[in-house]
Structure 1
């Protein structure tokens, strides 16, 4: 434990006691949401991000220790493990250092150095390395025998052995790493045979490009690597070879004789054949990993904003999945998202039944007491929105345009088929659009996060790392909002702290067979839901209209006795205490301290009792695009337009202005001052006003500026 705590301490600014206690909780199978919310005293009030860092470095440490054990075992089997080498391996603090130490002992494929050793040339290589011999040609002549027909053959073989020694020296590898880190350039050239291909044109900025590898933005590196993988460009990593060779020479050559000449040749060979190919690839991989992390971070921030998007709540919704030739699929949902009706209308070309569509939408709205209309933002969205806004509704009906991203993925998924086995994909897609308006979080958790389309180059980054990070985001969002156990789907429940897919299924099956849960205690009756799962999950599961009002709050059941004592001391019931701000604020919290419960937890309890079950999300707001802008041809420089942020990247954000093409607000056009983080200026689905700076109709590119 001590080594692990010290390792994490060295990687973070967190206190050792916070790290130690957090690791202890993690080892007891506690989840990040549970620890950050209900174990603040133990962690020193760490938030979910800080706990996530501890998890990350804990895993890094464990992977390092596992690799150390594997290498030590291999070295013992080779009978080459000295005390000094063992100590160096045990002291290694990263995988790069560890692999450098192991490199000389690694089993290699047949190499030039190995062939030279078989030809008996290692003693000659040692003589050259000693740099004491002057007539090296005469000495080399003694080794001319067998496969070696000349002194040059002997010297070349010896140089191959020396080149391998140089390649295996950690100090020399680190010298070259420093050169690459500081001075490496990434350059690209177009593959001439592919230059005119249509698919290549989106990468034409990189047909002849050069930039510092250390400073290249993540999105540009990922774009370059995608262009290379698709065969449109060739990528090279370059540094000043002469400078690099000079640095290596100074490490090795200390004489001015014939041995030095041989060493220069060996150093050049080691550099070109072994060191540079290996370490330039390592540098590119490190840059790619950095770019992956940046892209994943952007995706995670976007996903969080999307999942915590504004819900309209428990209202009856009519949802439309727009289309031209195949018509617009219309569904009516009750306040719980249950499908009540579906049919297709054909207001657009080729049928153009505008009148019939108007009447049908008006009658469905009236018949199902619809309170809001959700229109998908894909094909025919603007035309359908225009149609809907022509209807004279008898009651107040709000109209929203909803992102369709990922709806088609959901509609064809097993989850959708299980939910709606008797309906086709078009009905399922329309239902998903309507439910997104009611509760974006509950609906979007059913879709693979990568398919939601709010990242950059999500298919090019490390997929394991991406999946893991997005899973953490979804889990944190679900637990931050809380889940109604009596209405939640298996997908939503599976992200609740301590639950997982199997227990989520058991909960839904138990609910189906036995009816709604009446209390948090009754959750314990679910098969295989033991004490640990209950501890981790109970406070994130809400039960509406429960006998105990705390069951519909984020107060953990383990803290119910504290609330009961507070109410008793105030001479009122728990129900009377809840929402009674003046009473709550006057409570002396020190009276309720225990060995495990201190001020942070008690403050959270009081805050929750003031507004129990309060949804942390904002309310959904109606938005209207400029009705005069139908296509990119309607845009001109200087226009001010309403828009909705629909994607955020490191280089700016994309804005939906109501046409097929989204416009880009480059990072330089977000503010007059330096922008460190795009998310500090805009957030996903934010309604903003933009100014049109430039319109390139041929390339379908729109440049915008954020209008303050």
Structure 2
């Protein structure tokens, strides 16, 4: 099978676009670059479609690698026939491939292998032909030093037959279909765990049963986590008689009782001892993979929304990491996010140095010309917000409560130590809070996405696949926004198309040594940044206040000559053309098409010229929580309160209503009509009004509704 035909079959995308995309991927082009700057080649495929092609390409390569391993292994056994080789080479999935390999796989010592060592394989073959009407008599001929009697001979033969049945491709496929349609997943509480306090969160699964193919990802992952923690036992079941009838239909060929009696016994043994455990594990593993994919999809969607959260922009920010006994850590940042000052204040119990703290904040606001205040949403957040809002400033200051999830992880990280080697974790954490208000994307890329606090069961899914998917999301977000090459951190630069961490560090070092990068062409002077890396990255890197105006735009350097010709034709300079919507709309795009540049690229260029360097993100807005809510004890059924969506799952969304515990809006309570996708109703960071419908103070759970 060829790669192109494999991708076409599994993607249903146009052949020309797929072929050219595969060619570009082979040339080490990145997904953001291909989707944005090679639209003519791909037939205008979007980033999602190109990602699908890239994943199918990877899957095909893994499949082909496994085929080579299997072919070599069978060849070494001198068992590789032309027919088997062709079957293996044409296999389109790993399941079929492993079924073909199963009879040749090196096994530990089994009942069948022991029986074969005793010389009982010929007897098993006679029984499997199902023509012998005196099997007990035939079995007598196989008594020897290792086989004491005919019963022992028949048992050994049945063991061999059971293994053959287990390795039968038709049998396994029929059982797979049965399990995929009818399997039931059951959970039962482990006896001594029922009263365990830690087990109560899994109470729903103490005695649970449902069709496996209908179990949503969050429930399946919860069951498997409960099993991993030793709380419940999970079992996959189908109707045994139906399964045996399926096997009988494949294996039984005649009605010779003497043979079929033995084969029936072997079938039941094969099912109970080999097939049921193997197929049960296989379908559960497949269900787990699908649940992982669903959970990873939710996490990816949340991460994208979080990274593309509204930035405040280049402002001078005073950031506060709130606390009670240990005080509040205060830092002052300039418009570039550089730390200018830090100290502690103690406005809350037990110190209650409120007056001194107010004077200090007012003094810092004036001294550093602060334009906005960011307060972390952790312990003492609401109290700190109320305290700050009582201060009489001589200017209008916006006060933002910022989600600080992951700030502590960043503060203890290698990246934070490199950025602030002379400061402790408290200072670094406060800086992170302030910077994520100014630009969430630039700051959050420094933190392991799993520590940011969005998604569902992210620690239970395949960690390799999760990392791969999240890296793609981060790269997509970074490149969709663009990066200021002179202010971006190395972690942020590393996600730019074609860069990576090594080149990112080289860029930071180069700009430090030279005082900054003034043109995109100067990037080629960065050590190890060659023509390929320049092609992939240049258009995503911005030069603020650039000498050449297009260097601060999303126009690729390879298209500069087109824009220059447009300006020349309009008889204006580049500076006069850029941003002049009236003039730009007069440009006839068809005059600038060529063999390599078509209307998709030219349309993108025009959009960029109209709003050069535009940021696709919205601007940050201040949100006001209900001032009467301080803790879960203040929350009463029937209340209608404002909140911010801070997490989205397949079963609903969580809403921050200004207290420690977020409330759950179940998917059934999102709207009056049926909802299958939570994201179709709400987005991360969305400001909503919710109604309290249930409060469980003991379990720290709040149920909310957005209906009416």
Q: Same fold (TM over 0.5)?
A: yes
Task: Report the secondary structure of 1:133's partner residue.
Answer: coil
Q: Distance in 1 between matches of 2:289 and 2:413?
A: 31
Aligned counterpart, 1:511: 511
Q: 1:180·1:283 contact (CA, 8 Å) conserved in 2? A: yes
Shift of 1:707: 4.9
Aligned counterpart, 1:465: 465
Q: Distance in 2 between matches of 1:12 and 1:183?
A: 28
Aligned counterpart, 1:287: 287
Aligned counterpart, 1:151: 150
Aligned counterpart, 2:532: 532
Shift of 1:616: 0.4
Aligned counterpart, 2:438: 438
Task: Report the secondary structure of 1:466's partner residue.
Answer: helix
Q: Distance in 1 between matches of 2:514 and 2:425?
A: 31
Query: In the TM superposition, what are the counterparts of 1:84-99 in structure 2 within 5 Å?
Result: 84-99=83-98
Q: 1:187·1:236 contact (CA, 8 Å) conserved in 2? A: yes
Q: Distance in 1 between matches of 2:341 and 2:638?
A: 45
Shift of 1:648: 0.5
Task: Report the secondary structure of 2:692's partner residue.
Answer: strand
Task: Report the secondary structure of 1:441's partner residue.
Answer: helix
Provide the aligned C-alpha RMSD in A.
0.9
Q: 1:373·1:398 contact (CA, 8 Å) conserved in 2? A: yes
TM-score with structure 1 setting the length: 0.99
Q: Distance in 2 between matches of 1:443 and 1:478?
A: 11
Deviations 1:115-151 (A, max 9, x none): 1111111111111111111121111111122121121
Task: Report the secondary structure of 1:214's partner residue.
Answer: helix
Deviations 1:76-124 (A, max 9, x none): 1111111111111111100100110111111111111111111111111
Query: In the TM superposition, what are the counterparts of 1:317-356 in structure 2 within 5 Å?
Result: 317-356=317-356
Q: Distance in 2 between matches of 1:529 and 1:510?
A: 11
Aligned counterpart, 2:62: 63
Deviations 1:416-445 (A, max 9, x none): 111111111000000000000000000001
Deviations 1:33-52 (A, max 9, x none): 00000000000111111110
Shift of 1:213: 0.9
Q: 1:553·1:608 contact (CA, 8 Å) conserved in 2? A: yes
The alignment status of 1:420 with 2:414, answered yes or no, reads no
Deviations 1:317-364 (A, max 9, x none): 010000111001011111111111111111111111122212211221
Aligned counterpart, 2:212: 213
Q: Distance in 2 between matches of 1:494 and 1:707?
A: 44
Query: Tell me, which stretches of 5 or more residues in structure 1 are unaligned?
Result: none
Aligned counterpart, 2:81: 82
Aligned counterpart, 1:43: 42
Aligned counterpart, 1:358: 358
Q: Distance in 2 between matches of 1:224 and 1:246?
A: 31
Deviations 1:143-195 (A, max 9, x none): 12212112111101000110011011111000110111001111111112122
The alignment status of 1:122 with 2:121, answered yes or no, reads yes
Aligned length: 707
Shift of 1:254: 2.9
Q: Distance in 1 between matches of 2:648 and 2:654?
A: 6
Q: Distance in 1 between matches of 2:435 and 2:605?
A: 32
Aligned counterpart, 1:631: 631
Aligned counterpart, 1:252: 251
Q: 1:689·1:707 contact (CA, 8 Å) conserved in 2? A: no
Q: 2:304·2:474 contact (CA, 8 Å) conserved in 1? A: yes
The alignment status of 1:391 with 2:388, answered yes or no, reads no
Bigger Cα displacement from structure 2, 588-597 vs 72-81: 72-81
Counterparts in 2 of 1:618 and 1:707: CA distance versus 1, 3 Å = farther
Shift of 1:224: 0.8
Task: Report the secondary structure of 1:638's partner residue.
Answer: coil
Shift of 1:255: 2.6
Query: In the TM superposition, what are the counterparts of 1:548-627 in structure 2 within 5 Å?
Result: 548-627=548-627
Aligned counterpart, 1:690: 690
Shift of 1:455: 1.3
Q: Distance in 2 between matches of 1:501 and 1:247?
A: 56
Q: Distance in 2 between matches of 1:318 and 1:485?
A: 25
Shift of 1:452: 0.7
Q: Distance in 2 between matches of 1:126 and 1:38?
A: 64
Q: Distance in 2 between matches of 1:667 and 1:226?
A: 22
Query: In the TM superposition, what are the counterparts of 1:475-494 in structure 2 within 5 Å?
Result: 475-494=475-494
Shift of 1:70: 1.2
Aligned counterpart, 2:277: 277
Q: Distance in 1 between matches of 2:584 and 2:153?
A: 89
Q: 2:296·2:466 contact (CA, 8 Å) conserved in 1? A: yes
Q: Distance in 2 between matches of 1:238 and 1:394?
A: 71
Task: Report the secondary structure of 1:335's partner residue.
Answer: coil
Q: Distance in 2 between matches of 1:202 and 1:574?
A: 64
Deviations 1:360-390 (A, max 9, x none): 1122112211111000000110111110111
Q: Distance in 2 between matches of 1:205 and 1:348?
A: 41
Query: Tell me, which stretches of 5 or more residues in structure 2 are unaligned?
Result: none
TM-score with structure 2 setting the length: 0.99
Q: 1:645·1:686 contact (CA, 8 Å) conserved in 2? A: yes
Aligned counterpart, 1:13: 12
Q: Distance in 1 between matches of 2:520 and 2:249?
A: 72
Q: Distance in 2 between matches of 1:688 and 1:704?
A: 11
